[in-house]
Structure 1
Amino acid sequence: MLASSVRHDGRSAATSEAVYPDLCARRVFITGGGSGIGAALVEAFVRQGAHVAFVDINADVSHALVDRIRDLGPAPWWRRCDVTDVHSLQQAITDAAQALGALDVLVNNVGSDDRHALEDVTPVYWEQRIGINQRAAFFAIQAVVPGMRRQGRGSIINLGSTGWQTKNAGYPCYAMAKSSMNGMTRGMAKSLGEHRIRINVLSPGWVMTERQRMLWLTAESEKELMENQCLPDKIMPADIASMALFLASDASRACTAQEFVVDAGWT
């Protein structure tokens, strides 16, 4: 069974290229699941038959997503949540586990690549950027690990970025926070691995979400993209979701402490 969607160029593309039977009925928690890559993740896991919980700060897009995918699989559990509020985030994870059962998969997807100049960053702004792009991932992991330990298994997927690897300018706080996903992942892998909890980084390239197209895709930047990517097709949110499904499933049972890059060969 293939679940299809429409690509940017009008051709059909698989939202989920493969079916992973072990993901059926698994419990998955996704941060920032209401739109963009997050929405593609929610839909992809629902199509697999997984029980999905997600949080997002935007209630309107989250409601719309749930309505759109209601016939594709189990209805997602979701809650409006500002992930910079650690207590609220961890409470949402606790409540989702109570509603769905012990969580098997955590996808730390939430992020914000708002542009900012070095000289304009204040301590308050720095804390906000770190709160979204780094701290939320750490404390989400802290909240799910006890349940995963009791089960003797789990998969944690931290969304990284290739932006800092290609030395993109314009978001130093974001670059710093996203680069730390690699260090955090490798720093936790050994202790988590003792309980068969796997932890990996999934680093997207330039993904053509609605936000990216609206804010930063121009004729000039599209030309740069085509010059730097090895593959001529734009990366879509479904491409990131496909890798996440693999990392969540038992098909990747021997993969941990690694970075998996989906950037059409740019880096």
Structure 2
Amino acid sequence: MSNNNNKTSYPSLLGRHALVSGGASGIGEALVRALATQGCKVSFFDIDQVAGDALSKELQGLGYQAHFELVDLTQIDLLKRTIAERIDTWGAVRILVNNAANDHRHGLQELTSEQFDQCMAVNVKHHFFAAQAVAPSMAAAGGGSIINMSSNSWMLGLAGYPGYVTAKAGISGLTKGLARELGVDKIRVNTVLPGWVMTEKQKRLWLTPEAEAELMTQQALKEKIEPEDVADLVLFLGADDSRMISGQSLVVDGGRL
């Protein structure tokens, strides 16, 4: 957890409907918690039923508005139908955070055509269709913010998961296009590109003393990035404080690039 207890409060977020994909764990969980504690009504989707239910129950028990739905984001019809149901229940989504992803390691020669399509479906396709689903009511409500979560991996040109890197680069292009497409409706669209964030998954699978030491030689700031550090930027982009910021890619990587 972040050691900074002096968090900014964003009054414009109070009562707004926020939707987070991949919200049951990792960065997504931090996003759900941060938005809920700012007073948002938070709908979140994930494929982890147990973690999603537990987070929703915990936040509701603390008096926050949070609702979990089990959704496989590669099933676009299900995704769009569930978004429509959440809009019917809590009103227009004013903050959409397209967060869900899977950084599964793979080599160039390993990936079949079908696996490539699956990689795109998990990492970028749902961004497009979630934006498509929320945009009409978001516009009718007076605008809002779409935040697409990418990664600095494509900017660094990292090896070990070329399909994932391709998808994450595509997200920045999608953001540029949507910012122009939706700006007339007062909808802001931005990309957040985290560096190596210390989620439980990352620490369990890939963080070793050697890897951490190498990372600290690369980052200008010599501290590990926590999920809450990413959530802090997302809150700003979701709030009216960022009203004239759109089409941008903002990096949270401790000065690694």
The TM-score bracket by the shorter chain reads over 0.9
Q: Structure 2 vs 1, CA of residues 45 and 231 (structure 1 numbering), >3 Å: closer, same or farther?
A: same
Matched with 2:164 is 174
One of 227, 232, 235 as aligned partner of 2:225:
235
Q: Distance in 1 between matches of 2:8 and 2:81?
A: 33
1:92-111 paired onto structure 2 within 5 Å: 92-111=82-101
Question: Which residue among 182, 201, 212 is the counterpart of 1:211?
Answer: 201
Q: Sort the Cα spacing of 1:166 and 1:73 in 2 relative to 1 into closer, same or farther, 3 A.
A: farther
Q: Are residue 221 (structure 1) and residue 203 (structure 2) matched?
A: no
Of residues 18, 26, 32, the one that matches 2:16 is 26
Confirm whether residue 190 of structure 1 aligns to residue 180 of structure 2. yes
Checking the alignment, whether the CA contact within 8 Å between 1:47 and 1:72 is kept in structure 2 is: no
Please tell me whether the aligned partners of residues 46 and 72 of structure 1 are also in contact (alpha carbons under 8 angstroms). no
Matches within 5 A, 1:127-142: 127-142=117-132
Amino acid of the structure 1 residue aligned with 2:227: P
Select which of 4, 19, 24 maps to 1:13.
4
Q: Classify the secondary structure of the residue corresponding to 2:60.
A: coil
Contact persistence 1:26–1:103 (CA under 8 A): yes
- For 1:69 and 1:144, the matched residues in 2 are separated by 24
> 2:137 corresponds to which residue?
147
Please name the residue that 1:75 is paired with: 65
Q: Distance in 2 between matches of 1:207 and 1:196?
A: 31
Overall identity of the aligned pairs, in %: 42
Rate the CA distance shift 1:90–1:244 in 2: closer, same or farther, 3 A.
same
Which among 28, 48, 53 is matched to residue 38 of structure 2?
Answer: 48
1:46 and 1:73 in contact (8 A); partners too: no
Whole-angstrom distance in 1 between the partners of 2:52 and 2:117? 26
Unpaired stretches in structure 1, ≥5 consecutive residues: 1-5
Instruction: State the match for 2:243 in structure 1.
Output: 253
Mapped to 2, the partners of 1:202 and 1:234 lie a distance apart of: 17
Does residue 126 in structure 1 map to residue 82 in structure 2?
A: no
Aligned length: 257
Q: Distance in 2 between matches of 1:71 and 1:260?
A: 34
Give the partner amino acid of 1:13: N
What is the rounded CA distance, in whole Å, between the counterparts of 1:86 and 1:42 in structure 2? 22
Q: Separation in 2 of the partners of 1:226 and 1:125? A: 34
| Counterpart Cα distance in 2 of 1:211 and 1:69 | 22
**Secondary structure at the counterpart of residue 104 of structure 1:** strand
After superposition, give the CA deviation of every residue in 1:95-149 in whole Å (9 maximum; x if it has no partner).
1111111110100000110000110101111111100101010000010011112
Contact 1:77 1:96 in 2 (8 A): no
* Partner residue, 1:262: 252
Q: CA deviation at 1:187?
A: 1.2
Please report the RMSD computed on the Cα atoms of aligned residues, expressed in angstroms: 1.1
What's the CA shift string for 1:57-82, capped at 9, x where partnerless?
00011112123323444231111010
Structure 2 residues not aligned, in runs of 5+: none
- Are the counterparts in 1 of residues 102 and 123 from structure 2 also a CA contact under 8 Å? yes
Cα drift, residue 13 of structure 1: 3.2
Q: In structure 2, do the counterparts of structure 1 residues 232 and 73 end up closer, same or farther at CA, with 3 Å as the change threshold?
A: farther
C-alpha distance after superposition, 1:178-237 (max 9, x if no partner): 001111111121221101000000110100000000000011110111000111111000
TM-score, normalization by structure 2: 0.97
CA contact (8 A) 2:40 2:65 kept: no
Q: Which runs of 4+ in 1 moved over 3 A?
A: none
For the residue of structure 2 that corresponds to 1:77, the secondary structure is: strand
